[in-house]
Amino acid sequence: MNKFIRFSFILILMVSLFVPSFQVEAKTVRDLKNELQKLLDENNNLNQQIKYTESQINSARSNITRLNSEIEKIQNEYAQTEKEITALNVKISEKDIEAKNLVSFLQMTNSNNFYYEYIAGAESMTDFIYRLTVTDQLLEHNKKVTVEMNDMISQNNLKKQQLTTAEKTSKSKVSELNSNLAVLGSKKSDLYEFNMSVEEEIKESQKILKMYTDAGCKDNDDISTCARLPLDTSFWRPMETGWVSSYYGWRFHPIYKENRFHDGIDLVGNRQIYSVAAGKVAAIGYNHSTMGNYIYIHHLVNNKYYTSVYLHLKSGSINVRVGDVVSKNTVLATMGSTGASTGTHLHLSIATGRRGIDYTTYSTFVSRTVDPKTLINFPSGTGSSNSWLSRTRKY
């Protein structure tokens, strides 16, 4: 009886070691399709936002062009008004001289005055009165013209003030529109960047969905059972020999020249890259701006799901395909320097859960990354003086 109990206990223990204890709720192919559709809807919404932002940008540019044209027109009108004021001032000055001559005549202060000679040349009293009346009329006319011209100058000065105000208003609007244009341009850039990120996520989700449908999974099948991952109990280093060149965590980025969070560990050394644990290739791709050539692998290690990511791989060196089952001894690719890289190295990230199944966004992936040193035994320190000489030796 005791032997039977001991045998039963050992059997239960063995089963518990090899049967996965899923820490996420069961997911079906239909669930993946629904999540992919959400990403497609989000992408469509982003495209609509981009189009709307572009229409706002075009409208702002059109208004700036119109206002600049108005400003130019105002400046030309202002210059013409100044010319008119100058001409009127000349005429007023001339009329002022004529008026002074008439006054001089009336005061009889200038015997050589043209108007005096004109009146004095009268041949009769009737002619004298006529000529005197003409002179009075000329004087009144000059006064009237002078008043009118002064009114015109006042109106033109008012017009200048109005034009100055209009120019300031238009320039202020142009400045405001230029500021709005800068904000809209930044918004458009952010939307494009976010849209590119969503498009990348869509591609990854499509690849992972295809992997499971190619494996024979139907819409209502539980992914964990219809396409099981191979079990493993540990992680190994991804190269036979090498060393750490940059650790996980905050650091000064060598390309962007600012402090950024490094969501993995950079490794240099033997250029043949192995899988860190048994698993299934979930995605293979290329991202020119950051990751370069990359591979995603899903793992089930000690009954927990993980995703390992290998970046900057050499072009044309990838030896596996999506859906391939890999072991620790599977050569994945050759170390390279594609994407945002300053030299040949491997960027290795490890996150909990299966990216593309348990979550889709890159930001969630980053939030679920763990320091690879907590799972893989790497020597302390950086540089070739702190290198390892095998994939499994303890340090």
Q: Given pLDDT bands bounded at 50, 70 and 90, which one contains residue 121? A: low
pLDDT at 107: 53
CB-based contacts of 392, cutoff 8 Å, min separation 6? 236, 237
CB-based contacts of 200, cutoff 8 Å, min separation 6? 285, 287, 362
Largest CA distance in the chain: 166
Which CATH number is 47-191 given? 1.10.287
pLDDT in tens, 360-388: 877 888 889 999 999 999 998 888 889 99
187 vs 235: which has the higher pLDDT: 235
Alpha carbon 186 to chain centroid, angstroms? 5
Lowest-pLDDT choice from 34-38, 154-158, 307-311: 154-158
CB-based contacts of 174, cutoff 8 Å, min separation 6? 64, 67, 68, 71
For 141-168, what is the mean pLDDT? 78
Parse the chain into domains and list their residue ranges.
Answer: 47-191, 228-382
pLDDT at 54: 84
Q: Which element (helix H / strand E) includes 283?
A: strand 279-287
The CATH class of 228-382 is mainly beta
Nearest CA-CA partner of 331 in 344, 321, 322, 318: 318
Nearest CA-CA partner of 309 in 266, 344, 268: 266
For 258-275, what is the mean pLDDT? 92
Report the helix count and the strand count for the chain, using DSSP H and E: 6, 13
Nearest CA-CA partner of 164 in 66, 74, 81: 74
pLDDT in tens, 105-117: 555 434 445 555 5
pLDDT in tens, 71-117: 888 888 888 878 887 887 787 777 667 666 655 655 543 444 555 55
Supply angle C-alpha 28, 372, 286, rounded to 5: 60
User: What is the C-alpha separation between 318 and 382, in angstroms, rounded?
Assistant: 27
Nearest CA-CA partner of 275 in 221, 225, 318: 318
Q: At what angle do helices 125-214 and 29-106 cross, to 10 degrees?
A: 170
Q: Given pLDDT bands bounded at 50, 70 and 90, which one contains residue 349? A: very high
User: What is the C-alpha separation between 371 and 337, in angstroms, rounded?
Assistant: 22
Task: Classify each residue of 334-366 as buried b or exposed e, where b means 16 or more C-beta atoms within 10 Å of its C-beta.
Answer: bbbebbbbeeebbbbbbbbbbbbbbbbbbeebe
pLDDT in tens, 198-253: 787 888 888 888 888 888 889 998 888 888 899 999 999 999 999 999 999 888 77
Q: Given pLDDT bands bounded at 50, 70 and 90, which one contains residue 53? A: confident
pLDDT at 109: 39
pLDDT at 343: 92
pLDDT at 325: 95
For 7-26, what is the mean pLDDT? 43
Supply angle C-alpha 154, 158, 163, rounded to 5: 145
Please state whether beta strands 259-262 and 249-252 pair in parallel, antiparallel, or not at all (unpaired). Answer: antiparallel
User: What is the C-alpha separation between 158 and 262, in angstroms, rounded?
Assistant: 65
pLDDT in tens, 122-140: 666 666 666 667 667 766 7
CB-based contacts of 253, cutoff 8 Å, min separation 6? 259, 260, 262
Q: Model pTM greater than 0.75?
A: no
